[in-house]
Amino acid sequence: MNEILNHMLLADFVSSSKAKYLQDVQSNDGKAEEWTVVMGNEAGDLDTIASSIAFAWLRTKVLEQPTISLLQMGREDLDLRAENLHALHLAGLSQPKDQLLFVTDLAEFKPFPSSRFALVDHNRLASTFTPAEPPSVVAIVDHHADEGLYTDTAEPRIVSPAGSCASHIASLFDIAELPPELATLLLSAILIDTDGLKPGGKAIDVDRKAAAFLAPKSTLASSLPPVNVLEASSTNSSGPNSLFEIEAIKSLSEELSTMKNDVSHLGPRDLLRRDYKEYEFVLPWHADKPTIRAGLSTVPVRLKQWALDGKLETEGEAWMKERGLHILGVLTAYRGATKGKRKREMAWMVRTDSPPSDGFDFDVLAERLWDGLEKDAILEVKKHKKFAAGTLDNVPGQLRVRVYTQNPQATRKITAPALKAIMEGPL
Ligand SMILES: [Mn+2]
């Protein structure tokens, strides 16, 4: 065990790794190839950030392999999520925009300077990472649908359900290896992803176990009940003796979720890019097997509040042009005004002014999309009453649009694989 690192503050670890890595990249003498680059997904939520920082710590310390956490977002995008800034602050990162490494920091280095990757909170390496050597994925820890890749190179390769990827990450740690700031960061991610371990919600056993393991090691420790009580409480998913009911855990959850839900300062463009993922699909049913690009934006505000009067179409189209998309799905999640029930809507746009191949038939693509969505047994879409009976096929310009309400339980974790199946399925 590396004693020096063990006593190092998380903030120092993060910023010194970044400085060393950038130095090795700039020296251009092959040293950047000695590093493993660990990345979360491009949506950049707290789970992704916490998981990648923690995995970099673990790999550097336990395996003594230099590992750097790289955030798949621009530096300025960090401001789009107040809860991330807050949790990073609690973890001692007071200047996260300077301390962390962002993809935009490496934009000038082509080909990509390192070829060894660890993936957390996703399990397919983005096609934008093209190093000189063929890339190799040496570890995966994730809670999304398993795409079955890198089975012969990734070790560990953990891809299984959990409310939060951070829970799987926590399970890899020995208690002695975990600095308090890191425990706080992982715990914060778990609490955000599971509504504070709410009974009947997204938390499963692995999340409760991880939270009970992390809490006494975290900066909350002094305001918690004794460890044996905590451990016992991790086996109760509800009731007065559950972790959910512990005051310090409750108050941290509420603090974080209040920040997460306050997006009142964000306009449509920021709402579309704040929690955004991108996909490429090769269409096997089209004669020349073109590749199309699709984006899925999760937005915590109902369409009525920001997307009326043509804003959905104009802002959606502008974002699609900026990202070079053929398809954009806008997935809203919010609570209903009357009983506070969870609700979801989806707006889909197909942009037809930039065909992926000569003579590409957008009618076939759009029909396949509408048909696939409307027949999906889990999504349970219904036409949205407020948006012209759900069909705006004749929007001026080059857009086809349909808007639905959907099963309130189906998040992007369900929608993304459904979209993939619709696009890549047989004719
Ligand atoms: Mn996640």
Distance from residue 241's CA to the centre of ligand 1 (Å): 27
For residue 397, name the pLDDT band (cuts at 50, 70, 90): low
> Looking at the chain, how many residues does it have?
427
For residue 390, name the pLDDT band (cuts at 50, 70, 90): very low
**Entry pTM:** 0.88
Distance from residue 357's CA to the centre of ligand 1 (Å): 34
61 token code pair: 């310390």
Inform me whether the pLDDT recorded for 393 exceeds 60: no
The residues spanned by each domain of the chain are: 3-233, 268-424
Distance from residue 67's CA to the centre of ligand 1 (Å): 20
Q: Which pLDDT score, from 0 to 100, does residue 1 have?
A: 42
Q: Is 226 exposed, middle or buried (0-12, 13-18, 19+ CB in 10 A)?
A: exposed
**Assigned CATH topology for domain 268-424:** Diaminopimelate Epimerase; Chain A, domain 1 (3.10.310)
Tell me what the mean pLDDT of segment 369-391 comes to. 85
Tell me what the mean pLDDT of segment 270-283 comes to. 95
* pLDDT tens-digit series, residues 75-102: 999 999 999 999 999 999 999 999 999 9
Inform me whether the pLDDT recorded for 394 exceeds 70: no
Candidates 3.30.460.10, 3.80.30.20, 3.90.1640.10, 3.40.50.720; correct CATH number of 3-233? 3.90.1640.10
Inform me whether the pLDDT recorded for 4 exceeds 80: no
For residue 187, name the pLDDT band (cuts at 50, 70, 90): very high
Say how many C-beta atoms besides its own lie within 10 A of residue 64's C-beta.
11
**If you average pLDDT over every residue of the chain, what do you get?**
92
| Chain mean position to CA 300 | 14
Distance from residue 143's CA to the centre of ligand 1 (Å): 7
Distance from residue 194's CA to the centre of ligand 1 (Å): 11
- Domains 3-233 and 268-424 in one fold: no
Distance from residue 166's CA to the centre of ligand 1 (Å): 7
Inform me whether the pLDDT recorded for 391 exceeds 50: no
